[in-house]
Amino acid sequence: MSCVVNARGLRFRYEDGTEALRGVDLHLHKGESVALLGPNRSGKTTFLLHLNGILRGDGDLRVCDLPVTAPHLTTIRRKVGFLFQDPEDQLFRPTLLEDVAFGPLQAGLPRPEAEERARRVLCQVGIGDGWDRPPYHLSGGEKQRVALAGILAVQPEVLILDEPTTHLDPPARRTLLDLLLTLPQAKLVVTHDTAFARALCPRAVFFESGRIAADGPIAQIIDRFAWEI
């Protein structure tokens, strides 16, 4: 089976000396959804930040069959859709439509097609109107959806979601879950929300002190580490 993420012995130390990754091995197959669970500071976000080359550690890391090295970063960043924990970081254009059309425009799509695609993905995430509003007028949950629309608009091969339910109330979590379940992409989902993780991901890995301490069916991982997630 082809691997969309293949990490072997990945190690990373921040400039202040913090050893955040101490040999991470992880394989994510095409179409697979895997939850990254683990306590605060265990290295989950640090690991994700390696997947599009924001951070560079030692060891082997391939994403969509490409090594994560300078010559491949532009291609990899197009293939990896990254939803950050705080959607504020991701919305920066004057209107929702502009924001979501930005990625396709950057990728070279003509404006009418980019906007058409933006309207389509905005509908897909449940925002069917008000596209000329500025993103800073939105609620946290709406911002999350617009940020996700911006990612889907560039048609990535893998989705990386870092605590995607943080700003969402239970109905909005359900809506996000239903949407994610319809998406064919492979997904890596960092979350402390075990109900959400269980519903989305058949498999989980458990991070502990910069390493993956367990990898297996999600029910087993959650039962084993219930008080540490």
**Residues found near ligand ATP in the complex (CB under 6 A):** 14, 16, 18, 20, 38, 40-46, 207
Cα separation, 26 vs 112, whole angstroms: 40
Query: Under rule CB under 5 A, which residues in 108-167 are in contact with Mg ion?
Result: none
Check residue 46 for interaction with Mg ion (CB under 5 A). no
Cα separation, 108 vs 142, whole angstroms: 27
Check residue 45 for interaction with Mg ion (CB under 5 A). yes
Shortest distance, CB of residue 132 to Mg ion, whole angstroms? 34
Nearer to Mg ion, 40 or 74 (CB): 40
Select from ligand ATP, Mg ion, none the partner in contact with residue 8, using the beta carbon and a kind-dependent cut-off of 5 to 8 Å: none
Q: How many CA atoms lie within 13 A of 73 on its CB side?
A: 10
Nearer to Mg ion, 55 or 66 (CB): 55
Window of 37-45, 60-68, 97-105, 139-147 that interacts with Mg ion by CB under 5 A = 37-45
Nearer to ligand ATP, 131 or 196 (CB): 196
Residue 173's φ and ψ, nearest 5 degrees, are -65, -40
Window of 11-19, 45-53, 136-144, 172-180 that interacts with Mg ion by CB under 5 A = 45-53
218's CB contacts (< 8 A; 6+ apart) are: 35, 197, 198, 201, 202, 203, 204
Q: 207: helix, coil or strand?
A: strand
Nearer to Mg ion, 41 or 120 (CB): 41
Shortest distance, CB of residue 40 to Mg ion, whole angstroms? 7
Cα separation, 213 vs 141, whole angstroms: 32
Q: Walk across the sheet containing 19-29 and list its strands.
A: 19-29, 3-13, 58-63, 66-67
> How far are the Cα atoms of 10, 26, 40, 73 from residue 7, in angstroms, in the given order?
6, 5, 21, 16
Window of 38-46, 128-136, 207-215, 218-226 that interacts with Mg ion by CB under 5 A = 38-46
Select from ligand ATP, Mg ion, none the partner in contact with residue 46, using the beta carbon and a kind-dependent cut-off of 5 to 8 Å: ligand ATP
The b-or-e profile of 172-197 (16+ CB within 10 A means b, else e) is bbebbbeebeebebbbbbbbebbebb
Shortest distance, CB of residue 45 to ligand ATP, whole angstroms? 3
CA-closest candidate to residue 49, choices 14, 18, 16: 14
Shortest distance, CB of residue 105 to Mg ion, whole angstroms? 30
Shortest distance, CB of residue 128 to Mg ion, whole angstroms? 32
Q: Which residues contact Mg ion (rule: CB under 5 A)?
A: 45
